[in-house]
Amino acid sequence: MGRAIEAARQGEDGTPRIDPDVYVPALLTDLTNNLTNNASLFYRQNFGVGLTDWRIMYRLSTEPWVTAHRISTASALDKSVVSRSVAWMEKRGLVSVHGDAGDARRRLIALTPAGRDLHDRITVVALQRERNFLSVLSEAETETLIDLIGRLRGNLRAFSKPVAIPPPGPQHEHPVP
């Protein structure tokens, strides 16, 4: 890491501090939380579906007749969240759920024609919103960003590697204002 970033992570007394302006997990969390909150509100107001529903819909558009387990794995969503969303979308006629002829325990999910139509309408808007968001980047920067995100996603296990836990230090006094 560059010296400027490391320097920003030292408190005045030399103890480590997290500066949210340079701490990458905080930057990514802030960005994704803002994108998620904005998208969820936008899709609910304009299309009557939440972000989880939309994520399931675009997954089903490329991979129909899959299980909730497959959707949850591919989308990094909790299976119970996927199941609730699928049940909600089935009641509204957006997805069809059928038993698997080869395995009675499995239920396969696909978009209905109404679900496909809604998906197609949202896709037009989602792609325009993406273009608006990325408009501050050149095409080359966008390609680099996609590459960097892919590399970071591929390196997620490194974030979970064991690290040394420092022992408790002397209690710091923090006066209450």
Residue 113: which of 100, 96, 97, 126 has the closest Cα?
A: 96
CATH number at residue 31: 1.10.10.10
Instruction: Note whether residue 15 is domain-resident.
Output: no
Instruction: Note whether residue 169 is domain-resident.
Output: no
Is the pLDDT score of 177 beyond 70? no
pLDDT digits (tens, 9 = 90+) for 72-130: 999 989 999 999 999 999 999 999 999 878 777 889 999 999 999 999 999 999 999 99
One-letter amino acid of 49:
V
pLDDT digits (tens, 9 = 90+) for 116-162: 999 999 999 999 999 999 999 999 999 999 999 999 999 999 989 99
Q: What's the CA angle centered on 57, arms 156 and 127, to 5 degrees?
A: 80
In order of 7, 30, 33, 140, 149, the CA distances from 36 in angstroms are: 31, 10, 5, 25, 17
The two structure tokens encoding residue 51: 């972000």
* 75, 55 Cβ separation under 8 angstroms: yes
Domain residues for the domain of 101 are 24-156
User: Residue 93 carries which DSSP code?
Assistant: T
State how many domains the chain has: 1
Is the pLDDT score of 175 beyond 90? no
Instruction: Note whether residue 170 is domain-resident.
Output: no
Instruction: Note whether residue 165 is domain-resident.
Output: no
pLDDT for position 105: 80
Residue 36: which of 79, 7, 76, 94 has the closest Cα?
A: 76
pLDDT for position 100: 78
DSSP string computed for 16-72 = B---TTT-HHHHHHHHHHHHHHHHHHHHHHHHS--HHHHHHHHHHHHS-SB-HHHHH
Is the pLDDT score of 171 beyond 90? no
Instruction: Note whether residue 17 is domain-resident.
Output: no
